[in-house]
Amino acid sequence: MLRLLLERSLYPSNTSRKYAYFETAYLIPLCGLCPHEFETTGPSSYVGDDGTPIEFSWVIESEDKMTVRCIIEPISSFGTVAPSSTWMSFLLSLRIFSDHETFDIAWAQTCFNYLAYNSVLYGNTSQHSSQFIVGADCTHNDDIVGKAYFLPHIRSQATGISIDKLVTECMKALGLEDPWAMVIRYLATLPEHCQTKTEIVAVDCLQPSKNRAKVYVRTQASSLRSIIDLMSLGGELSDPSILSAIATVRHLWRLLFSEADESVSIPCLRPGHFGSGFSVYFEMGLSRSTPSTKAYIPIRHYCRDDAVIAQAMAQYYRDIGLSSVGDRYISDIQRLCPHRDLSARTGVQTYIGCAAKKGGSQVSVYLSPESFAPERRLKTTPEKIENIENTGRS
């Protein structure tokens, strides 16, 4: 999937070769066992519903400006989550693919110290045991920007300290207590049906002055109004970038759910799954007094199938003036999903992200290769790309 995305995103040939080597030398070994080596399902990874430990994201800003990113949860050669003693070395090994002058894992080390649990937790009450994920942004100038994601739920269970308290102490250590306090104050005011659960803290592998920390929260509230309120901290965040992101979320919502009423809750197709619920992250940096935000629409759990999602996204790109992107979007996604037809179910397109950026909003499409899809086990492949332009939205 990575090589197809790089090709479609018009990366220079030399850059594509470097990232192809990155995939072979770095990403694939971190996946642990090959899919056929698992007897039944894949590893219990937070990243993919089917156990696939890797996910890609595709940012399309114009026909000639596209960016590919990925995350991967390190899996051992036994098919289990890689031990915590290996995590920092995984990050350090990204240096050879990164800009040596700006590469730094100081913030990642701080997060590890405050959020990771280094022993086996017996009696884990979570649906998964994931604690650490590596990320990589594939820039067009040959350098990868590394990222580190920490899930503090295991440490919270082991120590009896709430996740929010662990995260608060971590933010203090990073010098981000003020913008984080702004978030915490608002979250404390939410009614019970809109309450959030803090899930992830992520940082880049950059020097502190250039770095950012992102805290991801998940809510079971599923109305457009509740997501907008969370993105804006109840209206407290109202700069142009936030307002632009909110407008984009509204646009996407209408296309994905055909729902104009902002108060109507969208039903979840997989209630109770740890990946159900909408997510928002709050991004903070040393040079900013207030956080920025990004909303994640978990389309894999709230839409009927990938064909419906692809049709909606194709229309979105046409609506914003990227007609050629919209016209190719469905066939592009089907090409990334050669093992089944998009109308079979959801799972290839996992999230639609909408971030507040200086120039406005930025939309990301998150994609799973579905390494453990039943069709892959049966070795079936669609003979051709089906015409799904007229597929009705649910």
The radius of gyration of the chain from alpha carbons, rounded to an integer in Å, stands at: 20
At 293, the pLDDT band (50, 70, 90 cuts) reads very high
Strand partners, 68: 58, 138
pLDDT at 297: 98
pLDDT at 383 over 50: no
- Residue by residue, DSSP assigns 11-26 as --HHHHHHHHHHIIII
At 33, the pLDDT band (50, 70, 90 cuts) reads low
pLDDT at 381 over 50: no
pTM for this predicted structure: 0.92
The strand pair at 278-284 and 292-297 is best described as antiparallel
pLDDT at 43 over 70: no
pLDDT top residue among 151 and 373: 151
Strand partners, 362: 355
Which of 83-97, 115-129, 259-273 is the least confident region? Answer: 115-129
Strand partners, 203: 148, 213
Residue type, 263: S
H or E element, residue 133: strand 132-138
**Spatial separation of the C-alpha atoms in residues 296 and 317, rounded to whole Å:** 18
H or E element, residue 196: strand 196-204
pLDDT at 372: 82
pLDDT at 389 over 70: no
Q: Where are the domains of the chain?
A: 2-378
3-class state of residue 107 by DSSP: helix
**Spatial separation of the C-alpha atoms in residues 161 and 165, rounded to whole Å:** 7
- The residues, ordered by sequence, that sit 6+ positions from 267 with a Cβ below 8 Å of its Cβ are 222, 302
**Spatial separation of the C-alpha atoms in residues 213 and 210, rounded to whole Å:** 10
pLDDT at 117: 94
What percent of the chain is modeled with pLDDT above 70?
A: 92
Contact 79, 38 (CB under 8 A): yes
Torsion sign (Cα): 244, 245, 246, 247: positive
pLDDT at 2 over 70: yes
At 263, the pLDDT band (50, 70, 90 cuts) reads very high
pLDDT at 382 over 60: no
Instruction: Please give the mean pLDDT across all residues of the chain.
Output: 91
Which of 32-41, 179-188, 291-300 is the least confident region? Answer: 32-41
Contact 352, 312 (CB under 8 A): no
Question: What CA–CA distances, in Å, run from 355 to 133, 137, 245, 249, 280?
Answer: 20, 15, 6, 9, 9
Residues 342-370, mean pLDDT to the nearest whole number: 96
Give residue-wise pLDDT tens across range 198-236.
999 999 999 999 999 999 999 999 999 999 999 999 999
